[in-house]
Amino acid sequence: MLLALDELCRLDRSEVTATIARRAARRRETVGFPTPSTDVGDLIERLGCKLFARERPLIQYVAWANESRLLELMGRREFVCIDDVCSHTCLSEAGGDSLLGVVCALGLATRSPDARYSLTAAARDYLLPDSPYFVGGELHPPSRGLPRAYRNDPGSLLARALFKLLCLRPSFRYGTRARLANQHVRNLPACAAAVRTGEFDQVRCMVDLAGGSGAFAIPFSLQYPRAQIVLTELPRAVKNVRWFLGKHGMDSKIRVLGADAFRTPWRLPDCDGIFIGNFLHGFADEGASMICRQAFLSLPARGKIWLHEMLWNPNKDGPLITALWHAVMRVGGGRQRTADELMTILRGAGFVRPYVVPTAAAFALVAAEKP
């Protein structure tokens, strides 16, 4: 990375600075994992899936929109809002929000800034039964049942109790090796891209909260070998986390701490940075706000937080990959958010000067500082 003396003598100060920066950038590109040839989000969106444990083909969402009479309702009206959907179809707020998000991202509907939805001309031509060009009857989905969380009917007392228990105690859903493997393959490309943004150049000790398989901790440790990193995960998952770290030869370089993020107060080691990757989307705003407040209390003055999430665009009608993740998150009580929504949560927790750094696959870092 150092320039030879004779090379320095031939350059003025600005050229020296630019040359060193270029070489530093090339060095960052070669540390850890090789740079992918394309953004994984482009590939996954073309395939119409989201690398998630509960895959659903795109046609299934269109079939649910038809089965629930959502498309019929939209065909009768110039526009609808969520309240209309809940009043005139079998869909709950979560179901209407999920299906409308996907059909918008598919280009079958549009969403106005005040959250009113209208069918596009293509949807009216081909997906309404009274159109002479109707093709809906020839679209054959796998016919999975509409998720219970998408329906207005409450279901049995036992089903409601189990669903509420899962939402209140999300730790029941995480930590198995299969779940960690799924998290690893879908998060690693975006996390490797995040590490290469230069955002973490000044961090001395980073806590990777609910860090799963090490999809962030591993590339971080490779990029910043002098920095400390502590990965926290559910106690029941620690053994499986260490197995993943061992596969990359990182088991002795990354400290693993068994901890439940919903057990407060947190007992974290002293750190100047907290990374929370692809985690807050699993929870309603109350849970996400609580996590950020605990992070605020755990950081020193000038400490920083980074949220790494797949973001909605400002109008919440894309990208498609975010709409699909959002539809899955609504089943369990969570949601994808816009950058502004995440910044609002951070400000509410006490953080200041939030900003956004795009990474890959519709992910972005939403960062802020403790004053």
Residue 359 confidence (pLDDT): 94
Which residue is it, tokens 């799924």? 182
Shared-domain flag, residues 105 and 125: yes
Task: For the chain, 371 residues long, give each residue's pLDDT as a single digit of tens.
Answer: 344 444 434 444 455 445 444 544 444 444 577 777 788 778 877 777 666 656 788 899 999 999 999 999 999 999 999 999 999 999 999 999 999 999 999 999 999 999 999 999 999 999 999 999 999 888 888 778 898 889 997 655 555 565 555 555 544 456 788 888 888 888 999 999 999 999 999 999 999 999 999 999 999 999 999 999 999 999 999 999 999 999 999 989 999 999 999 999 999 999 999 999 999 999 999 999 999 999 999 999 999 999 999 999 999 999 999 999 999 999 888 999 999 999 999 999 999 999 999 999 899 999 999 99
| Residue 328 placed within a domain | yes
CA distances from 42 to 197, 248, 260 (A): 19, 26, 34
Shared-domain flag, residues 107 and 242: no
Amino acid identity at 144: R
- Can you give the pTM of this predicted structure? 0.85
Residue 138 confidence (pLDDT): 83
Other C-beta atoms closer than 10 Å to the C-beta of 51 total 20
Domain boundary among 149, 168, 187: 168
Domain boundary among 145, 168, 191: 168
| Residue 285 placed within a domain | yes
Residue 130 confidence (pLDDT): 92
Residue 70 confidence (pLDDT): 97
Shared-domain flag, residues 162 and 204: no
Domain count, the chain: 2
Residue 157 confidence (pLDDT): 59
| Residue 108 placed within a domain | yes
SS (H, E, C) the chain: CCCCHHHHHCCCHHHHHHHHHHHHHHHHHHCCCCCCCCCHHHHHHHHCCCCCCCCCCHHHHHHHHHHCCHHHHHHHCCCECHHHHHHHCCECHHHHHHHHHHHHHCCCEEECCCCCEEECHHHHHHCCCCCCCCCHHHCCCCCCCCCHHHECCCCCHHHHHHHHHHHHCHHHHCCCHHHHHHHHHHHHHHHHHHHCCCCCCCCCEEEEECCCCCCCHHHHHHHCCCCEEEEEECHHHHHHHHHHHHHCCCCCCCEEEECCCCCCCCCCCCCCEEEEECCHHHCCHHHHHHHHHHHHHHCCCCCEEEEEEECECCCCCCCHHHHHHHHHHHHCCCCCCEHHHHHHHHHHHCCEEEEEEECCCCEEEEEEECC
| Residue 5 placed within a domain | no
Domain boundary among 140, 168, 196: 168
Q: At 352, which CATH number? A: 3.40.50.150
Residue 7 confidence (pLDDT): 44
Residue 90 confidence (pLDDT): 95
Q: At 115, which CATH number? A: 1.10.10.10
Gap between the Cα atoms of 174 and 262, Å rounded: 13
Residue 154 confidence (pLDDT): 63
Shared-domain flag, residues 292 and 231: yes
Shared-domain flag, residues 164 and 196: no
| Residue 14 placed within a domain | no
Shared-domain flag, residues 249 and 347: yes
Shared-domain flag, residues 183 and 58: no
Shared-domain flag, residues 227 and 285: yes
| Residue 246 placed within a domain | yes
Shared-domain flag, residues 128 and 258: no
Shared-domain flag, residues 140 and 193: no
| Residue 75 placed within a domain | yes
| Residue 99 placed within a domain | yes
Shared-domain flag, residues 234 and 364: yes
Domain range for 351 is 173-369
Shared-domain flag, residues 211 and 295: yes
